[in-house]
């Protein structure tokens, strides 16, 4: 068995992976949908969203296996992150890099491996979206095209996650390094570094590029504008009279 060589840009690659702050997080429907689609489209019993960390590959989403991670030295995906192109291994028992791999000799009995790199805009590959079969075979051109598209979607979701985390952190950042927003327990106004109190939307507007629109939630309508709620209900009843 040949463990994958460490990429030359490993430090930058690991830093990019950790910026997503996703390792060890709970399953999410967004990513689970993608692995389910990959498994269904390619007709494989196993599909994985694998993130290659320093000494392990960790599965954010998985179909067909129960394990959460495996050692990096066993990882097919650690080989796949060396180029932007997919790594297709039709029969792992016939490939000298993998024929003695514990994942080939034992469960899950890998034969076909098809890994599609998760590559960000800086050409850093943090892992793969891969499908695995227990019998030797090839993927069709259409299956490869779908997998490439799904891998791009994974990266888009990861980038959105990073932007959301950065935005939340910016909300909690003050000029003097205090990463807390002080809010009133009663009126929910926020206090700035000068001690002035203001509504949270104004507070955030002064510190971010966010814009706000305003409405009234159902609970507040019920508590503060019961006559409006009664009028709406009467209008609905007139439109839909009971029979």
Dihedral sign (CA 233, 234, 239, 240):
positive
Confidence of residue 171 (pLDDT cuts 50, 70, 90): low
Predicted pLDDT of residue 60: 97
Query: Phi and psi for 79 in degrees, rounded to 5?
Result: -80, -35
Reported confidence tier of residue 174, pLDDT bands at 50, 70, 90: very low
Token pair listed for 174: 């003050």
pTM given for the model? 0.71
pLDDT in tens, 177-229: 555 677 776 677 787 777 888 877 777 777 766 666 666 677 777 776 677 66
Quick: pLDDT tens for 36-51. 999 999 999 999 999 9
Q: Right CATH number for 10-167 from 3.30.450.40, 3.40.980.10, 1.10.10.10, 2.40.50.320?
A: 3.30.450.40
The Cα 20–Cα 16 span in angstroms is: 7
CB crowding 128-140: b at 16 or more within 10 Å, else e: bbbbbbeeeeebe
Task: Give 230's Cβ-side CA count (13 Å radius).
Answer: 5
Q: Domain boundaries in the chain?
A: 10-167, 181-212, 213-243
Q: Which residue has the higher pLDDT, 211 or 66?
A: 66
Beta-ladder partners of 47: 63, 131
Contact, 189 vs 197, CB < 8 A?
A: yes
Strands 56-63 and 46-52: antiparallel
**Phi, psi of 102, deg, nearest 5:** -60, -25
pLDDT tens digits along 109-119:
999 999 999 99
Task: Give the side-chain half-sphere CA count within 13 A for 58.
Answer: 14
Q: What are the CA-CA distances from residue 152 to residues 77, 84, 128, 203 (Å)?
A: 16, 12, 10, 36
pLDDT score at 170: 66
User: What is the C-alpha to C-alpha distance for residues 63 and 32, in angstroms, rounded to an integer?
Assistant: 8
Contacts 24+ apart (CB under 8 A), 60-63: 60/22, 60/25, 60/27, 60/28, 60/31, 61/27, 61/28, 61/31, 61/32, 61/34, 61/35, 62/35, 63/35, 63/36, 63/38, 63/39
């Amino acid at each position: 068995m040949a463990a994958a060589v460490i990429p030359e840009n490993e430090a930058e690659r690991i830093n990019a992976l950790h910026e997503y702050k996703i390792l060890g997080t709970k399953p999410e429907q967004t990513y689970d949908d993608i692995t389910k689609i990959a498994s269904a489209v390619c007709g494989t019993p196993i599909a994985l969203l694998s993130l290659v960390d320093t000494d392990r590959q960790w599965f954010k989403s998985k179909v067909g296996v129960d394990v959460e991670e495996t050692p990096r030295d066993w990882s097919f995906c650690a080989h796949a992150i060396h180029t932007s192109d997919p790594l297709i291994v039709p029969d792992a028992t016939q490939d000298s890099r993998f024929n003695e791999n514990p994942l080939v000799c034992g469960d899950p009995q890998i034969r076909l491996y098809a890994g599609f790199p998760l590559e960000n805009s800086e050409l850093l590959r943090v892992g793969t979206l891969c499908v695995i079969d227990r019998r030797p075979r090839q993927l069709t051109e259409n299956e490869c095209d779908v997998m490439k598209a799904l891998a791009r979607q994974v990266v888009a979701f990861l980038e959105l996650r990073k932007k959301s985390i950065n935005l939340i952190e910016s909300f909690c950042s003050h000029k003097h390094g205090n990463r807390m927003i002080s809010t009133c327990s009663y009126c929910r106004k926020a206090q700035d570094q000068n001690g002035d109190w203001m509504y949270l939307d104004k507070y955030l507007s002064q510190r971010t590029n966010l814009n706000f629109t305003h409405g009234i939630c159902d609970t507040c309508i019920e508590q503060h504008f019961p006559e409006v709620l009664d009028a709406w209900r009467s209008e609905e009843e007139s439109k839909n009279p009971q029979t």
